[in-house]
Copies of this chain bind each other. A is one copy, B any other.
């Protein structure tokens, strides 16, 4: 690699702008560590005049990022727009084809097109780096690819979405409603101001799970969705009851091999308060890796925000500048296997189910009858009447039951007029 390195930054939102500033400030530090002189020769965004925290240089500004590649000799390109398709995909594709290294925090892109883009990178002998796509500042991908490289990893799980973890922590502490806490999260910049849906419904965490899976199990990215549930239906009263049971609600992303079948999932979990994972609060992320011979490894850190994300983007940059040319997923495309998916129907858990019902005789027995019909046995039952509204909450903790029966049972409640809305179901972890 030559000594002078030309860099382009495509996307100048919160992260791109912060990164641009870091690249300027860390120039001499980078030269000291790698012997390379970096220079940002092109930047691109929709609007050059948008108000930004750090000043950008308009002389190197391009409205259309494709022009950057046409008009400059770029060595490394940062894609920080963040879409799974469209211009994000096009610019990454074009860069790799032009033998330009690409660095991106874009989990939507990598979890959807990672295999294809990785082939492109391998063919053109350049790096495609995406450390920032999972768990922000925590170098978890590098840890799996390198630090734990020869371990047989059997399970990776954790708190992968800072927005959800913040909302759950804050709902628990403030006893406020989901919507109020969501608004607060948006005000503080912890949730997307426009459309936070992809964070809240589990999609973002699942994209990260898919990337973690690929690395941990040396396999292609899976296309199927085993199980994805978000936190939108959780209410304050669920926290009250969890508290009584000495439990806490967390949205977990989990991937593991069960009998050599792959089981990826994201859903809210009830975890014991005295466990490690229960005490990771706010916007923090945590990833737990189980492997042989290393045992259990835990990594925790800030999962989002421009600082943490830039830290990961810059680590990718240094890896490239140091000449650590590597396969994006740790081994050559042709050696990455396919793994059969696990049948989610066989997933067994103890369940927390909250019913909102009309407060009248016979409703409870209707519920327990259905449960019995699907072989769901009750471990604990709590009934909280709200007599002013002639309603009641019925909370049931079940013994272990598989998804097949629990799903069928939950569906069977839909036609029951005494049950006022879809029951809330949270699995015990």
Contacts and interface: CB of A to CB of B under 8 A. Distances in A.
Interface stretch (A57-65, A296-304, A376-384): A296-304
A148 to B, nearest CB: 6
Interface in A303-356: 306-308, 310-312, 314-315, 317-319, 322-326, 330-332, 335
B315 A146 contact: yes
Contacts of A299: 297-300
B32 A148 contact: no
A318 B145 CA distance: 10
- Residues of A contacting B: mostly: mixed
B301 A297 contact: yes
Given A32-B335, A33-B331, A297-B299, A139 B146 contact: yes
Nearest to A143: B139
Contacts of A26: 150
A266 to B, nearest CB: 23
Contacts of A279: 276, 279
12 contacts: A22-B150, A35-B332, A143-B143, A149-B314, A149-B318, A150-B311, A150-B317, A291-B311, A294-B311, A295-B307, A295-B308, A299-B300
Interface of A: 18, 22, 26, 29-30, 32-33, 35, 131, 137-139, 142-143, 146-151, 218, 276, 279, 286, 291-302, 306-308, 310-312, 314-315, 317-319, 322-326, 330-332, 335
